[in-house]
Structure 1
Amino acid sequence: MGVGTICFYLLRNQMSGRKTNGFLDAIYFCTVTMTTVGYGDIVPSTVLSKLLACAFVFTGMALVGFILSHAADHLVEKQEILLIKALHINENVGPDVLEKEVVTNKAKYKCFVVLSVLLVMIVTGTVVLVKVEKFDLVDAFYCVCSTITTLGYGDKSFSTKGGRVFAVFWILTGTILLAQLFLYLAEMNTERRQKELVKWVLDRKMTRRDLEIADMDNDGVVGPAEFAIYKLKEMGKISHEDVSLVMKEFDGLDFDQSGTLSCSDITLAQLSSSRHS
């Protein structure tokens, strides 16, 4: 953002459109470019400025998508804990219960938090456009929706100094929140389908064929570990390749080939590793 602002400020005479202040217009142009809103109220008009905009839009999109989405995810998780505590404020629940609640309904709470903040951002943006840009209510709401969805027709945009100062922060936040909401909705759908699969696996009756598949060591009986691994594979929690890799590591640590691990096995494995390194 800083590099882009400096570059477009130096090339301000090579930009055309509705201008207010050189520095403010540069950072505003960076924001609408990085978020792919592209109102068209300020556009590059020379070969150099167009090439710079082309380079900046790709790097800007990548950085916005990567950095801000991770930051948003982190902040949402923090608010998620506060939300769960608020829901159980009159109940005497310990940290274990709260942690279990977070894990069980993680995607649902994320959606709730992001949707709540997004609605606040929509209302705030609409009010600012009415008060600062002097839009009527419908046009303000229309501009807000076309902005956070990165549609950016350009017929309505931020054209005053105050409006563009607000837009620099609001556009970045609003567009990322909407993207995160769609991501969390997809995550919630995946989580729901995963729970349905787990329920189906646990409710399904075991057959002789299932026992044969679960019998990893082919000794004719299925122990608790083999049963757990088989069920986890059916639930899609782990794959056959995962089990193979773990067993390969186990065999590498089992120096005396007893089929069990002991402290002496671990010590011998560490010594062997030290010699090889």
Structure 2
Amino acid sequence: MAFDDAKHPLLSGLRDPPHQPEQKIGAKKRYRRCKSAPATDILLKKNHAASSPASETIVGKVHPAFIQVIVLLAVYLGIGTTCFCLVKNQIKGKKTNGILDAVYFCIVTMTTVGYGDLVPNSVTTKLLACAFVFTGMALVGLILSKSADYLVEKQEMLLVKALHIHQHVGMTDIMKEIETKRVRYKFLMVTVLLVLLIIVGTVFLSTIEGLNLVDSFYCVCSTITTLGYGDKSFSSEGGRIFAIFWILTSTICVAQFFLYLAELNTEHRQQALVKFVLTRRMTTLDLEAADLDDDGVVSSAEFIIYKLKEMGKISQEDITLVMEEFEDLDVDQSGTLSVSDLTLAQSPPHGSKV
């Protein structure tokens, strides 16, 4: 699969490579695997530490981002509950308890479920509802981007261990499997959680709210998809206590489900593209496009860069930025980097004060 800009050199600043001694005919040049980059090595160590047995459950060490979301949610519900308690007489609908109804109204508003069982009935309450729906949606987005993803990742280790319960699998193998199948495991975890939430919600509505199974399932589906027709809702005091926790959890879980589904589809398409690029026959046009320095032959580095660009792993802009950094570090203009190059590049200019 050739790109439109494939015929243009990928590395505009590529210099002629230094002369290499001739190899014996028939000798096959071997390349060692590249050592892990320091930054990558640090990240892997952090991931390993985060997935250690001491913190592989939610009860373990809590991530700062998760704490931030909890604090923001508490502040939102605290302010919202106070405001709607003060104007509770200006909200019409079936009421149970002042504080409980205020918290319930906040949750229904921020998740955009909007049953209609509690409705603003004055200018003040309508303006408050408008303010809290936007801030609530922003908070839900923050929860999706930080805490929800974090909670799913915390359980990946347990899932992989459960799948290999009868096998002797080391921590390194588990980490590798999580890394290569991360999106798949996230999707599986969210799917299981979503099914459990649907079952729990249906059973609760059937037993506590007195709805039949069809109406209970119908109410669950209209809630978690934020459709919220309003003909069926949580009307009892116990039902609204349950709804405060269940609605927030289930609506966020559905959003994560479709997010991971989209990521899984994207990953499958990317894998299909990689397979196509690696299995298709190389043509003379590909050889010409991969020859970055126009010397008539394609080196291993040129071949790797060309294939990575075909796979969509890198772009022309990425290559240009990396080459600019290389040229800045290559002080002696030799086309290679050495310790002296790094020392000269990082030393302050002559005559300047440190």
Which of 145, 153, 168 in structure 1 is aligned with 2:244?
168
Counterpart for residue 129 of structure 1: 205
Q: Is the 8 A contact 1:69 1:176 kept in 2?
A: no
Equivalent pair of 1:69/1:180 in contact (CA under 8 Å): no
Inter-partner Cα distance in structure 2 for 1:119 and 1:45: 36
Report the residue type matching 2:110 in the other structure.
Answer: M
Q: Could you tell me which of 79, 85, 102 is aligned with 2:178?
A: 102
Q: Are the counterparts in 1 of residues 88 and 102 from structure 2 also a CA contact under 8 Å?
A: yes
> Which structure has more RCO (C-alpha within 8 Å, separation ≥ 6)?
2
The alignment's C-alpha RMSD in Å is 1.7
In the alignment, the residues of structure 1 paired with residue 167 and residue 209 of structure 2 have an alpha-carbon distance, to the nearest angstrom, of: 47
Residue in 2 aligned with 1:201?
277
Name the SS of the counterpart of 1:52 in structure 2: helix
Unaligned runs of 5+ in 2: 1-76
Q: Deviations over 1:184-211 (max 9, x none)?
A: 1111111001000000000012122212
Query: Structure 2 length as normaliser, TM-score?
Result: 0.75
Amino acid at match of 1:132: I
Comparing 31-40 and 135-144, the one that deviates more: 135-144
Aligned length in residues: 277
Letter in 2 for 1:224: S
Return closer, same or farther for 1:273/1:205 CA change in 2, 3 Å cut-off: farther
Cα distance per residue 1:12-44 (max 9 Å; x no partner): 111110111111111100000100000000010
Query: Is structure 2 residue 296 aligned with structure 1 residue 231?
Result: no
Report the identity percentage. 66
1:117 maps to which of 172, 181, 193: 193
Q: How far apart, CA to CA, are the structure 2 residues paired with 1:116 and 1:81?
A: 15
Aligned residue number for residue 88 of structure 1: 164
In structure 1, the residue corresponding to 2:314 is in which secondary structure? coil
2:324 counterpart of 1:248 = yes
Residues 201, 235 of structure 1: 8 Å contact kept? yes
CA contact (8 A) 2:224 2:254 kept: yes
Residue 20 (structure 1) aligned with residue 96 (structure 2): yes
State the TM-score, normalizing by the size of structure 1: 0.95
1:43 match: secondary structure: strand
- 1:45 aligns to 2:97 (yes or no): no
- One-letter amino acid of the structure 2 residue matched with residue 61 of structure 1: M
Runs of 4 or more consecutive aligned structure 1 residues displaced over 6 Å after TM superposition: none
Q: Which has the higher helix share?
A: 1
Q: Which amino acid aligns with 1:108?
A: R
Structure 2 contact 144–256 (Cα < 8 Å) conserved: no
Shift of 1:273: 7.6
Q: For 2:110 and 2:294, how far apart are their aligned partners in 1?
A: 58
Which of residues 261, 264, 268 is equivalent to 1:192?
Answer: 268
Tell me the residue number matched to 1:35. Answer: 111
Structure 1 regions of 5+ residues with no counterpart?
Answer: none
Q: Name which of 84, 88, 101 aligns with 1:8.
A: 84
